[in-house]
Amino acid sequence: MTTTVTTEAAQGLALLYHDAHLLAVDKPSLLLSVPGRGPEKHDSVLTRARRHWPGARIVHRLDWETSGVLLLALDGPTQSALNRQFARREIDKEYRARVAGRLACRRLSIRRPLVRDWPNRPRQMVDWERGKPSLTHVERLGHHGPDTCLCLRPVTGRSHQLRVHLLDIGHPILGDRLYGPPGSREAADRLLLHAHRLAFIHPATGERLALEAPLPF
């Protein structure tokens, strides 16, 4: 069921869905998915959720700068079942992004193996010898002046996959201060990447849920 829990009750989290087994929130940009090291990184979706739902457990993560649908389990069996769906790539993920330059083709698939760039961590990089296979399907939604709006469907879930894949084909995401070159980096006051839609099978009911977070840009 879709919930109408107030913002105050939800500790400042915009709820997209809530029942006895799981909840989904619209994570804002610049909020961690889980706490980091040190008191300055304590605030996170998980921290806030546990103030209202003490049994909340993380299922997946979004980058600090990425906004959109974030799913949490409220019990162990639900967490395990959702983790299995992610591991088996049974969860459909759809992102929206605005990138630098006018992408010419309507659709393409980006296959670039990724590995951690240890001297420059947390950056990732394309490495054809040591990288793990990574696949992103891309659909052009339209042009926005000199830029392009995209729908992204990652098949794999490597760290920073979308950011590195788009950079590698010459269309960095606007506002990406970790990977973007000068120009695209300053073109937006935040990373223009949003987890727009998440579709999965509810572990308790067997119902297929498709949850969407409204576009913030």
Alpha-helical segments (H) within the chain: 45-52, 76-87, 161-168
Instruction: Give the CA angle between residues 23, 32, 176 to the nearest 5°.
Output: 120
CA–CA dist 159, 77 (Å, integer): 25
User: Is 168 one of the catalytic residues?
Assistant: no
The upper half-sphere exposure of residue 123, i.e. CA atoms within 13 Å in the direction of its Cβ, equals 13
Question: What residue has token string 């008191």?
Answer: 39
Active-site position among 26, 63, 147, 176? 63
3-class SS of residue 5:
coil
CA–CA dist 105, 162 (Å, integer): 17
Instruction: Report phi then psi at 187, rounded to 5.
Output: -75, -10
> Could you count the other beta carbons within 10 Å of the beta carbon of residue 8?
8
Quick one: the chain helix, strand, coil %, rounded to 5? Answer: 15, 35, 50
Catalytic residues: 63
